[in-house]
Amino acid sequence: MEALDWLHLPNLEVRSGVLGVAEIRDGPSGELLVVEVEPGSYRPCVGTEPEGRAPGAVASFCAVHESVFGGWQERRGLATVQRGGVVGWVSTDIATAGFFDHEVLARLAARDAEAFEKWCAGFFASMSYPHGFDYFGGDGRAPVVYVQSSAGAGHYPVVEILGGEGPVGLEVAFSPALVDGVDVSRELQVSRVVEPIPGVLQPG
C-alpha cells in the first residue's frame, strides 16, 4: 500500500468474525456496515500523510489481521498487502470512523439498552483526537476503536485489504488520493457483507 506513515494501535479482538464499521459520533449506533471476516486478532492502523503532501493528516484507517505482520523471526508490515474492491461506504459529517466486533457489542447492548443509549449519547464529548478506544460498560470484550480525520464531511469508501490468497482486513480511505485510486468495479473477495443484528445497534 502507499508509503504512508503508519501508527499501530493496540489489537482489536474480533472473536465472532463479524466486524462492524461505522461513523462514530453518538456511538456506533447509526448506519452500519457489517462484514464477515476471519475471526482473530486485528491490528488497527492509522495512516497519515507523509511529508510533502499534507503531513500528519489522517489518510487511512484500517484493521488488519495480525497474521499479516508475521512472527518474531519474520516481521512484516503493510507493504505486503494491497487494496481490493469496495465493500461499502461510511458517510460522516465529522470524518470519523470506527471498528468493533459487531456481534459481541450487539449482545452486550441488548442486555441494557438504556445504559447503551446513555453511553452513545456521551461518546463524542469523550473522544480523543485523532484516535482512541472506548468500552461500553468498561467491558474489554467489546472495544470500539476509532479515528478522527481532518478530511471533513464526506462519503468514504471501505475497501478490502488483500494479502496472500485472500482478504486480511478492511480500510476506510479518507485521503482524496486514496479515494480517487479505489477501483469500484473490482470483484470482492471478502466472505460477504451481512445484515446488522436487529436491536439497539441497528433498529429492525
In the chain, domain spans = 5-194
- Strands 82-92 and 58-65, bridge-based pairing: unpaired
Per-residue pLDDT reduced to its tens digit, 32-56: 888 889 999 999 999 988 876 666 7
Bigger pLDDT: 141 or 105?
105
pLDDT mean over 12-25? 90
Question: How would you label 151-173 residue by residue, b for 16+ Cβ within 10 Å and e otherwise?
Answer: beeeebbbbbbbbeeebbbbbbb
Give the largest CA-CA distance in the chain. Answer: 49
Length, in residues, of the chain: 204
pLDDT mean over 19-35? 83
Bigger pLDDT: 2 or 67?
67
Residue 145 has pLDDT above 90, yes or no: yes
**Torsion 182-65-119-125 (CA) sign:** negative
Bigger pLDDT: 188 or 166?
166
What pLDDT does residue 204 have? Answer: 39
pLDDT mean over 91-118? 88
What pLDDT does residue 191 have? Answer: 62
Cell (9 digits) for 158: 471501505
